[in-house]
Amino acid sequence: MFAEYKKYMIWDDTGFLLSKNKYNENSLIAEVFTKNHGKVSGIIFGGTSHKLKNYLQIGNKIHLNFNSKSENRIGYFKVEIQEALSPYFFDDQQKLSCITSAIHLVKILTAESQKNHFIYHLIENLYILLKNENWIQNYIFWELELFKLLGYDLEFKNLVEKKVVDNELQYISKSSIEKKIVPNFLIDKKLNTRDLKILLNGLKLVGDYLDKTILKPNNLTHPISRQHFINSLK
């Protein structure tokens, strides 16, 4: 009987809600990126109830108790709200779209049950940068840091050549297929800009890199949520 008990996996942790899908009339299957266990899926009984539905918002920080009979079977979550983060931004559609995009990137790019404290703290930092005036530029760097933590270190300075146009320094991509202007702030990170056109160009370049280097080799498509975020800025 003791040997049989040992097979159970029981632990407590905190994490950010990545996704939720209806499992049956009363329950949900949720994905959470936890501090000590990485990305984990579990069934939440009563997850569709009014009480739980109010704080099971994507991006919210929750405390959870996980219970599973086997490593190979989906487990069960008992959840409590730790910090309702998303509601702070309900009146700002751009920032809310940013959260949705960022959380979805973590969902599709991380592997199941691979602990990564750096990614956990990166998600925490997302809510801090959204309070800054220059949050769009900071979010672009947030995406680049996520890619770096996943093993894809994009250093734009190694991919460009300098060119002076109308007495202004420009950085042009070295690609033989298509020459693209790379915003200066992606090369010199001390520079700040609030020029929306420049920032949108930066988001597009990072998105092109995401598609070419990470998504397509893994048979993944560009997240619609990221495009919705970009559209919300226009």
Burial (CB < 10 A; 0-12, 13-18, 19+), residue 217, is exposed
Number of compact structural domains in the chain: 2
Please check whether residues 79 and 99 belong to one and the same domain: no
Are 71 and 176 contained in the same domain? no
Q: 107 and 7 in one domain?
A: no
For position 203, what pLDDT does the model report? Answer: 97
**Best CA proximity match to 144, nearest among 115, 174, 112, 186:** 186
If asked whether residues 98 and 205 sit together in one domain, one would say yes
The 3-state DSSP class for residue 171 equals strand
Question: Which is it for strands 181-182 and 168-173: parallel, antiparallel or unpaired?
Answer: antiparallel
Same domain, 146 and 43: no
Residue 162: per-residue pLDDT: 78
- Domain end, chosen from 52, 84, 116, is at 84
Same domain? 147 vs 104: yes
Same domain for 6 and 111, yes or no, is: no
Determine the pLDDT at residue 8.
Answer: 59
Selected residue with higher pLDDT from 186 and 53: 186
Which of 31, 54, 84 is a domain's end point?
84
pLDDT at 6: 44
Kindly tell me the sign of the dihedral angle through the C-alpha atoms of 143, 147, 150, 155: negative
Residues 193 and 107 in one domain: yes
Query: Alpha helices of 14-55 — where are they, by DSSP H?
Result: 50-53
Question: Domain boundary residue among 26, 57, 84?
Answer: 84
- The 10s digit of each residue's pLDDT in 98-151 is 999 999 999 999 999 899 999 999 999 999 999 999 999 999 999 999 999 999
Question: 176 pLDDT exceeds 70?
Answer: no
Q: Provide the residue range defining the domain that includes 204.
A: 91-233
More confident residue, 188 or 33: 33
**Residues 168, 116: one domain?**
yes
CATH number, domain with residue 27: 2.40.50.140
Verify that 163 and 70 share a domain, yes or no. Answer: no
Residue 53 confidence (pLDDT) above 90: no
Indicate whether 211 and 126 sit together in one domain.
yes
Q: What is the mean pLDDT of the chain?
A: 89
Confidence class for position 52, pLDDT limits 50, 70, 90: confident
Could you tell me the pTM of the whole model?
0.90
Q: From start to end of 38-136, where are the E strands?
A: 38-44, 61-68, 75-83
Q: Say yes or no: 12 and 99 in one domain.
A: no
40, 65, 70, 74 from 5: Cα distances, Å: 21, 17, 11, 17
